[in-house]
Amino acid sequence: MITFDNVNKRYASGQDALVRVSLEIPSGDMVFLTGHSGAGKSTLLRLLTAIERPTKGSILVAGQNLNRLRNGQVPYYRRNLGIVFQNHQLLFDRSVYDNIALPLSVAGCNKREVGRRVRAALDKVGLLNKEKQNPIMLSGGEQQRVGIARAVVNKPAILVADEPTGNLDPKLSQEIMELFTDFNAVGVTVLVASHDLELVARMRRRVLTLQSGQLIYDGVPSREVLPS
Ligand SMILES: Nc1ncnc2c1ncn2[C@@H]1O[C@H](COP(=O)(O)OP(=O)(O)OP(=O)(O)O)[C@@H](O)[C@H]1O
């Protein structure tokens, strides 16, 4: 369970990025976070991933109060999370395999286990035949799949994605969303921030909408308002 209780985030610049945000996401849910540019989506994800701290209010993740997390505990906390970025942040001087293996090597996995898990992750995103390639050789959609494989390789309970389809065309975007649906189907809690309202509506999942830092909608959009 993810709980935000009356969370405010004011940056040092004085900008209020989140204002009294309260929400609950039960374990195993798949939820979309939407809103205009500057609405506070990335800030909410940065608080959840403990990149930023709230100014007020509390955030609980699987019973752990993030306000009480000491800086030294943050890397351990993040092992429960898979994080996917829009620009995927792959290392172009290493192979696809090495990019995906990175979080496991950091966690101290042995070589055999790393191989088994990297191939399982590549299999899930449909890129088993690309492990030796350099990510620069891959298409934008494939690079994003590598980013997703890296995010799921240590089997996180929660998968967080910030505009994961930002640079992709509609068909590839839909495929990426379906990948997230597959992970959710096996029990992973999934939270995806996207400003692509059509794509989000088509998924027919719970949607949280932010506007100027406030949560203005929390529900499943009805079929009638969906684009055909
Ligand atoms: N590090 C920062 N310092 C100061 N202000 C910031 C910082 N990060 C974001 N903001 C401001 O906080 C507000 C919310 O930004 P945020 O990036 O969370 O929005 P967003 O909904 O993710 O937007 P986008 O879709 O454009 O990424 C904006 O007004 C932004 O300018």
- State pLDDT tens for residues 86-99: 776 899 999 999 99
Answer yes or no: do 76 and 165 share one domain. yes
* CB crowding 173-207: b at 16 or more within 10 Å, else e: bebbbebbeebbeeebbbbbbbbbbebbbbbebbb
SS3 string of 188-219?
A: CEEEEECCCHHHHHHHCCEEEEEECCEEEEEE
Rg (C-alpha) for the chain, rounded Å, is 18
Answer yes or no: do 76 and 11 share one domain. yes
Q: Nearest Cα to 178, choosing from 99, 124, 227? A: 124
The four Cα atoms 57, 213, 184, 67 give a dihedral, to 10 degrees, of -20
Using a 6 Å cutoff on CB, does residue 39 contact ligand 1?
A: yes
Using a 6 Å cutoff on CB, does residue 51 contact ligand 1?
A: no
Q: Decide: residue 133, CB within 10 A, 0-12 exposed, 13-18 middle, 19+ buried.
A: middle
Answer yes or no: do 184 and 133 share one domain. no
Distance separating alpha carbons of residues 166 and 161, to the nearest angstrom: 11
Residue 62, in any domain of the structure: yes
Distance separating alpha carbons of residues 16 and 88, to the nearest angstrom: 27
Answer yes or no: do 28 and 70 share one domain. yes
Quickly count: other Cβ atoms within 10 Å of residue 153's Cβ: 24
Ligand 1, from 42, 51, 195: best to mutate by most atoms within 8 Å of Cβ?
42
Chosen domain end from 114, 130, 154: 154
Residue 104, in any domain of the structure: yes
- pLDDT, residue 219, reads 95
- pLDDT, residue 112, reads 93
Residue 46 maps to which CATH number? 3.40.50.300
Answer yes or no: do 146 and 37 share one domain. no
Distance separating alpha carbons of residues 167 and 173, to the nearest angstrom: 9
Using a 6 Å cutoff on CB, does residue 15 contact ligand 1?
A: yes
Answer yes or no: do 101 and 136 share one domain. yes
Chosen domain end from 139, 154, 169: 154
Answer yes or no: do 135 and 163 share one domain. no
pLDDT in tens, the chain (228 residues): 999 999 999 999 999 999 999 999 999 999 999 999 999 999 999 999 999 999 999 999 999 999 999 999 999 999 899 999 877 689 999 999 999 998 898 778 899 999 999 999 999 999 999 999 999 999 989 999 999 999 999 899 999 999 999 878 898 899 999 999 999 999 999 999 999 989 999 999 999 999 999 999 999 987 655 544
Answer yes or no: do 3 and 55 share one domain. yes
Domain count of the fold of the chain: 2
Chosen domain end from 154, 171, 191: 154
- Domain span holding position 56: 1-80+156-222
Angle at 112 between CA 107 and CA 118, to 5 degrees: 65
Using a 6 Å cutoff on CB, does residue 99 contact ligand 1?
A: no
Answer yes or no: do 54 and 148 share one domain. no
Pairing outcome for strands 81-84 and 30-34: unpaired
Q: For atom 16 of ligand 1, which residue has the closest CA?
A: 40
Query: Which two structure tokens, joined as six digits, stand for 207?
Result: 């949607």
Distance separating alpha carbons of residues 173 and 177, to the nearest angstrom: 6
Q: Are 70 and 21 in contact (CB under 8 A)?
A: no
Say what the ipTM of the complex is: 0.94
Question: What spacing in Å lies between the alpha carbon of 38 and ligand 1's midpoint?
Answer: 5
Answer yes or no: do 63 and 160 share one domain. yes
DSSP classification of residue 163: S
Q: In sequence order, what are the residues at sequence separation of 6 or more whose Cβ sits closer than 8 angstroms to the Cβ of residue 180?
A: 30, 148, 159, 161, 164, 190, 192
Query: pTM for the full model?
Result: 0.92
Answer yes or no: do 56 and 118 share one domain. no
Answer yes or no: do 147 and 183 share one domain. no
Using a 6 Å cutoff on CB, does residue 41 contact ligand 1?
A: yes
Question: What spacing in Å lies between the alpha carbon of 37 and ligand 1's midpoint?
Answer: 8
